[in-house]
Amino acid sequence: MPIRLYNSLTRRLDELRPLEPGKVTMYHCGPTVYSSPHIGNFRSFLFADVLRRFVEDQGYQVTQVMNVTDVGHLTNDDIESGEDKMEAASKKTGRTAWEIAKQYEDEFHECQRLLHVRMPHHMPRATDFIAQMGVIIDDLLAKGVAYQVDNGDVYFEIAKFPDYGKLSGKVIDELEDGARVAVNEKKKDPRDFALWKTDHKHQMQWDAPFRSGLRGFPGWHIECSAMSSHYLGHQIDIHTGGEDNMFPHHECEIAQSEAHTHKQFVSIWMHARHLLVDNKKMSKSLGNFFTVQDVLKKGYTGLELRFALVRGHYRQQLNFTLKGLDEARAAIARVQQCRQRLVRIRLGHESAGAADLTAATAQADAKFTATMQEDLNVSEALGVVFEFASECNRAQPTASSCQQALRFFARVEDVLACFGQEPMAVEDGAPAELQALLQQRQDAKKKKDWVAADAVRDQIARAGWKIVDTPQGARLEKV
């Protein structure tokens, strides 16, 4: 069965058919490093991560590139006063744009780690690709699809690229009601977008690679064309981003890349819906704005946050709440509890039964694959996982069945990474002093001294462990 993915370009589910059999190239529009990454950013990046993991799970060799935008992302692309976000952050803080970029890039990587993201193979910075951008700009000028205005700015000329609008479906009439289209007098068409901005005062400035003497910095869109072609070639299989990237960013990428190469830039465009918080768009003014660190400071783990952000279908708005994180915690515990028991039976710490889970495991595995193949239906796939966990809990399985079931859970973890590693058998992990306390409690229980027994239980709980009583006796589990 093929993987089918919703392609924003064709507006239907398309089969993933890599240009090179067995290999898949992916490009993801990454962070603009001018502020701390927030949970909405990571909804998109975790979607990309799950996509990569599942495609790899299906046997493809994936090459994944995610850019770091550290220059050129204007606060407004069309207005002359549009300011580079890095520059704006610099003015606000009194630190250099380079320092700011470094700080937030590091913070971004830290968040990736905390959220169990499989690192992309390449995470290039825009500032390291000025020369490559220059080559493309030069070519676009030579081809006559870009033009330079008197102050040196270079713009891509939309009129020379009839396909402009094919991704977003935007057919912009110049005098659209309600849309705030500011007119830059220098541009031939308001939709024309900047490839190069001439600015001698900009902190981050380079000699225009296509014409010396013109100090300035690149436009935002051109970096993605330069970096994706550098690492992945002129044509790539999948390109992702948040829904807001579709227009104008991706539309512009298509225009400049395809005008440059005359080849179809991307086979499948995928866009993640934005995250809502308390059913509202996340914004600082509403007080519902969370960075990744904000959430972790509240005592939630990266895994719990990952679960909460990944569990909904990527093309559906997902409502994030703190309560949702509590639910995530409970849901994760349910699966880990189940795996814990399977591990114990496999190792002989708990008695095995006669139930054969082979068929149930194979069925869950096949269902998991099928739901994920259909446009990454994570919600339904999680349903399969939970149902299977219940099935395991109900059964008194054989040791080898446990082994099989655990392999399935390991696969789920490899793809979704939202439950955690396979739990250890608890005997392997409990410190000796806690084991001694456990024995004390057993003694107290024997004497029916419930007060003493409960006191010991509380003491163990404070150490981060809990007592599990079973018909076979009591044992410790890490909370």
Partner RNA sequence: GGUCCCGUAGCCGAGUGGUUAGGCAACGGAUUGCAAAUCCGUUUACCCCAGUUCGAUUCUGGGCGGGACCUCCA
Beta carbon of residue 209, minimum distance to RNA (angstroms, whole number): 23
CB 375 within 8 A of CB 327: no
Does position 292 bind RNA by CB under 7 A? no
What's the maximum distance between 2 C-alpha atoms anywhere in the chain?
94
Return the residues of window 229-248 that contact RNA according to CB under 7 A.
Answer: 241-248
Considering only residues 85 through 144, tell me which ones interact with RNA, judged by CB under 7 A: 85
Pick 259 or 453: Cβ nearer RNA: 453
Backbone angles phi, psi at 51, to 5 degrees: -60, -50
| Residue 383 is a binding residue for RNA (CB under 7 A) | yes
Residue 288 touches RNA, criterion: CB under 7 A = no
> For RNA, which residue of 377, 403, 435, 459 counts as binding (CB under 7 A)?
377
For the segment 434-463, give every residue that binds RNA (CB under 7 A).
445, 450, 453-454, 457
- Please state the closest distance from residue 13 (CB atom) to RNA, in A: 11
Which token pair is 290? 């969370």
Identify residues 388-407 at the interface with RNA (CB under 7 A): 389-390, 393-394
Hey, what's the torsion of the CAs at 364, 368, 370, 374, to 10 degrees?
160
Taking the least distance from each CB to RNA, the nearer of 357 and 382 is 382
Least gap, CB of 338 to RNA (angstroms) = 7
User: CB of residue 212 vs RNA: minimum separation in angstroms?
Assistant: 29
Binding of RNA by 425 (CB under 7 A): no
Q: Between residues 150 and 458, which has the closer beta carbon with respect to RNA?
A: 458
Of residues 311 and 346, the one with the C-beta less far from RNA: 311
* Binders in 320-339 for RNA, by CB under 7 A: 321, 323-324, 326-327, 330-331, 333-334, 337-338
Beta bridge partners of 68: 125
The nearest distance, CB 292 to RNA, in angstroms, is: 12
Binders in 185-224 for RNA, by CB under 7 A: 220
Report, in Å, the least distance between residue 211 CB and RNA: 25
Q: Would you tell me the crossing angle of helices 322-347 and 399-416 to the nearest 10 degrees?
A: 150
**Residues 61-80, interacting with RNA (CB under 7 A):** 73-78
Tell me: does residue 151 bind RNA (CB under 7 A).
Answer: no
Window contacting RNA (CB under 7 A); options: 92-100, 109-117, 146-154, 162-170: 162-170
In the complex, least distance from residue 252 CB atom to RNA, rounded to whole angstroms: 10
* Choice from 165, 233, 352, 386 touching RNA (CB under 7 A): 386
In the complex with RNA, the residue whose CB is nearer, 20 or 294, is: 294
How many chain residues interact with RNA (CB under 7 A)?
86
The minimum distance between CB 442 and RNA, in angstroms, equals: 10
- Judged by CB under 7 A, the stretch of 172-180, 227-235, 397-405, 412-420 that binds RNA is 172-180
User: In the range 338-357, which residues lie near RNA by CB under 7 A?
Assistant: 338
- 2 forms part of the interface with RNA (CB under 7 A): no
Q: Rounded CA gap, 331 and 307, in Å?
A: 9
Using the minimum distance from each CB to RNA, give the nearer residue, 210 or 465: 465
Smallest distance, Å, CB 177 to RNA?
4
Q: Is 311 in the site for RNA (CB under 7 A)?
A: yes
Using CB under 7 A, pick the residue from 19, 135, 149, 276 that binds RNA: 276
- Closer residue to RNA in complex, CB, 214/295: 295
Tell me the window of 42-50, 129-137, 156-164, 358-366 that interacts with RNA (CB under 7 A).
Answer: 42-50
Instruction: Say if residues 263 and 235 touch (Cβ distance below 8 Å).
Output: yes
Among 151, 319, 396, 421, the residue binding RNA under the rule CB under 7 A is 319
User: Of the candidates 19, 149, 181, 322, which one interacts with RNA according to CB under 7 A?
Assistant: 181
Q: Is 300 in the site for RNA (CB under 7 A)?
A: no
The three-state DSSP-derived secondary structure of the chain is: CCCEEEECCCCEEEECCCCECCEEEEEECCCECCCCCEHHHHHHHHHHHHHHHHHHHCCCEEEEEECEECCCCECCCCCCCCCEHHHHHHHHHCCCHHHHHHHHHHHHHHHHHHCCCCCCCECCEHHHHHHHHHHHHHHHHHHCCEEECCCCCEEECHHHCCCCCCCCCCCCCCCCCCCCCCCCCCCCCCCCEEEEEECCCCCCCEECCCCCCCEEEECCCHHHHHHHHHHHCCCEEEEEEEHHHHHHHHHHHHHHHHHHHCCCCEEEEEEECCEEECCEECCCCCCCCCEHHHHHHCCCCHHHHHHHHHCCCCCCCEEECHHHHHHHHHHHHHHHHHHHHHHHHHHCCCCCCCECCHHHHHHHHHHHHHHHHECCCHHHHHHHHHHHHHHHHHCCECHHHHHHHHHHHHHHHHHHCCCCCCCCCHHHCCCHHHHHHHHHHHHHHHCCCHHHHHHHHHHHHHCCEEEEEECCEEEEEEC
- CA 356 from centre of chain: 37
Cβ distance 123 to 28 under 8 Å?
no
